Amino acid sequence: MNGMNGATSALLAALIFLVALNLRPAIAAVGPVLTRIGGDMGWGESVLGVLGAMPLWAFAVVSPLVRFVTARIGADRTILVALLVLAAGDATRSFGGPVGVWLGTVAVGAGIAAGNVLVPVIAKRDYADHVPMATGVYSACITTGSAVAGLTAAPLAAAFGGWRPALAIWAVPPLVVALLWLSRVIRERTTSMTESSATESSATADHRPDEGSAGEPAIESVVHVPADDRPLWCRPMTWYVTLFMGLQSAAFYTMSNWLPSVVTAVGFSDSVAGVHLFVFQSLGILSGLLIPTLMRARGNQICAAMTASVPMVVAGLGWMLLPRLSLLWSVIGGMGQGAALVVALTLISLRGRTAAETVALSGMAQSLGYLLASIGPLAFGTLAELSGGWAVPLVLFTALASLQCVIAVFAGRERV
């Protein structure tokens, strides 16, 4: 991190992983209490599907705007604002009445969207020599937060008498991290002011108007590597990365919202359904840490992308054909979704040639990707209500997972 060194630098850099811990709980906690929300509000599966898709729509709208906010106030300050918006959204959703459910959900999505875009960018900047490792760690943090929220949501709702306090409790962690992150913002501002003063002093001392070319700024040596100079949206690789991001997100958010309902429909209790969801989400921690070892197999990311994608197809077929073995499919699907997230985020980091381009690619891939991902929970709930069961929506889920396998081949091929 520029301007920082020693233990302080390492600690402040590591705060990005605490931010990552807060990027899923506010959404993952909804799935286990979705039926409670529906019963309380009188909403059917279609409306609940809209509620599940709404954070993804917020991701789609906010993600491309993050780059403009970042250009104005900086990445670290944008993260601070995002954490505060996330906390406010959590509280509003729980205690703002029926309208507050929708407004709070939008705010939650907006806060997380900024984190989704900037966490990989900041991690790439602060851990430039260890991008796959850093991606694995912060992805593990994302998965950990999601798994803990999914496991504890139903017990918290039972203990505190409803879904509102069970969701509101997730306003506390982002506030705590925002307080810690503030020290990083202050340190960054102090460092920037010091460096600015030093640069001005150096420029004044070194300026020699009568020395001609000797007084001109030195031109840094640049190694020119052939690259695709077309705008991002004109590059096929941008669309492959975006599609991979969207499809793996569709799988994760669909199951995060609806897996408890699928499991209870075949006779399991709410508590057992919560365990299945926890397994699905928590095993992503292990696979997310292991998948970076395959990111350079054969000089590209095809092996890693396929390894992360195929398990979700297997899980989809399993939930559809042998739902009583749901725990097994949760294990297999969980290993796939955790690895797929790491692959998607690493592809964004690797395909961006500069920090600015990485921000732009991250914003585009996550904006359009999450718009695509919103089809998952929305269509799943609508098809369940129309068909009166879970077989038809699971067919769609498996079809999208199969398409992810195809896109994995194209997104994994590295082009110079």
User: Hey, what amino acid is at 94?
Assistant: S
- The pLDDT, as a whole number, for residue 135 is 76
Determine the average pLDDT of the residues in 182-204: 64
- The pLDDT, as a whole number, for residue 358 is 79
Q: Which two tokens stand for residue 310?
A: 């195929």
Residue 47 clears pLDDT 80, i.e. is over it? yes
Residue 370 clears pLDDT 90, i.e. is over it? no
Most confident of 190-199, 367-376, 387-396: 387-396
- The pLDDT, as a whole number, for residue 221 is 39
C-alpha angle with apex 79: 378 to 114, nearest 5 degrees? 25
Of 254, 242, 184, nearest to 17 by C-alpha is 184
Q: Which residues contact 5 (CB under 8 A, 6 or more apart)?
A: none
Determine the average pLDDT of the residues in 88-117: 94
Determine the average pLDDT of the residues in 152-162: 90
Rounded Cα gap, residues 213 and 267, in angstroms: 81
Q: Which two tokens stand for residue 406?
A: 């195809």
Torsion of CA 31, 35, 39, 41, to 10 degrees: 20
Rounded Cα gap, residues 151 and 64, in angstroms: 32
- How far the first Cα of the chain sits from its last, in Å, is 27
Residue 141 clears pLDDT 50, i.e. is over it? yes
- The pLDDT, as a whole number, for residue 284 is 83
- The pLDDT, as a whole number, for residue 84 is 97
Q: What is the mean pLDDT of the chain?
A: 85
Q: Which residue, chain included where needed, has tokens 């139903």?
A: 154
Determine the average pLDDT of the residues in 316-345: 94
Residue 214 clears pLDDT 70, i.e. is over it? no
- The pLDDT, as a whole number, for residue 4 is 45
- The pLDDT, as a whole number, for residue 66 is 87
Task: Report the range of poorest mean pLDDT among 29-43, 189-203, 249-263, 321-335.
Answer: 189-203
Who wins on pLDDT, 401 or 225?
401
Task: Answer yes or no: are the C-beta atoms of 113 and 62 closer than 8 Å.
Answer: yes
Q: Which two tokens stand for residue 341?
A: 């997230």
Of 163, 166, 167, 146, nearest to 23 by C-alpha is 146
Backbone phi and psi for residue 228, each to the nearest 5 degrees, phi listed first:
-80, 110
Rounded Cα gap, residues 182 and 195, in angstroms: 20
Of 198, 414, 397, nearest to 297 by C-alpha is 414
Determine the average pLDDT of the residues in 278-295: 87
Q: Which two tokens stand for residue 156?
A: 């918290």
Q: What share of the chain in percent tops pLDDT 70?
A: 87
Of 302, 305, 195, 163, nearest to 245 by C-alpha is 305
Task: Answer yes or no: are the C-beta atoms of 45 and 384 closer than 8 Å.
Answer: yes
pLDDT band at 227 (very low <50, low <70, confident <90, very high): low
